[in-house]
Amino acid sequence: MPTTGVEPQRKAAAIPIIDMHIHAEPLSEFGGGELSVCPGDQKLVLPAIDPKVPFKIQDLHKCAKPIKASATDERLLVETLEAFDRYNIRRAVTAGPIELVSKWYDASPDRIIKALSFADRDPSPAEFRRLFAEKKFSVFAEVGMQYRGLSPDDEVYEPYFALAEELDIPVAIHLGEGPPGGVHTLGPPTYRVALGRPLLLEKVLVRHPKLRVYVMHYGSPFVDEMIAMLYSHPNLYVDIACNNWGFPRKQFYEHLRKMVEAGFEKRILFGSDQMVWPETIGKAIESVEQAPFLSASQKRDIFYNNAARFLRLTKQEIARDHGSK
């Protein structure tokens, strides 16, 4: 029987997966309407835009078969959980408005790991401590200071990083590309590419050596800086979310291979960053499963083992994840 594009996904489904980058967001956060994206396993073209001509974010990605967003907020939840079932995703760090994240948790408490996102409203440090004590969240993610025109070491975040270190809360920081077109599309006017450089995180890691941190999108495209940071700060991890499905596959593989060949295969976390396109979860899994330079054990580490270590899962929790659904 000839093989098809879905076979790697079926193979990956036998491996328990931890997705470190899921969003519980309303469609309106991404512009709503008929929003589609292009997966990087196709011929992906990012055309030039005439600044005198009005354009939409969809005009910045061209491909033969774009992926459409879920039709409603309710369908987004249903379709994301269906993808969890299909691909054996046993746990998923889920960020978004705290009320919506709680709703997703209620729908799948065994899989949803509640994350506190600094998106629409920042709690005070006292409220941050209270929300954690009340188990409203267990991961501080995603911290998107880049979208606000701020560096990771800006003093406004210092009380929160200090609390995360004190309370042993894992932290996920967005560094790297924003939406296609940056400030010209969905990116807020304060977003800056230069603030995605991994070296900007160093002061935070020096101040807080016991902080558990992973950098979302591995600081792409500044992969060499990321490698330097990983080498000097052994408490630092990266996720490969969105880059594994939303960027040209060859570019993603060059970055992933570089990090693996530099010796950091034990600190790479799988994530999808599905946003409002649940179908991208399968594409993200496929990209890792099809990587010709990864061994089976390296794939297992990326899909599950590295995240289990980072999250400090117990032997019992790991055994449950490897059992029946």
> Greater confidence, 190 or 79?
79
List, for residues 188-209, the tens digit of each pLDDT value. 888 899 999 999 999 999 999 9
Q: How far is CA 301 from CA 98, 240, 298, in A?
A: 30, 13, 5
Give residue 8's pLDDT band: very low, low, confident or very high (50, 70, 90). very low
Quick: pLDDT tens for 103-124.
Answer: 999 999 999 999 999 865 689 9
- For 68, other C-beta atoms within 10 Å of its C-beta total 12
258 half-sphere exposure, CB direction, 13 A CA radius: 18
The structure tokens 């330079």 sit at 293
User: Given pLDDT bands bounded at 50, 70 and 90, which one contains residue 324?
Assistant: low
Beta strands, E only, the chain: 17-23, 36-37, 67-68, 89-95, 112-118, 139-143, 171-174, 213-216, 236-239, 268-269
pTM of the model: 0.92
To which residue do tokens 């296609």 refer?
A: 180
Residues 6+ apart with CB under 8 A from 106: none
Q: For the chain, which domains are there?
A: 7-291 (3.20.20.140)
- Structure tokens belonging to residue 20: 């470190």
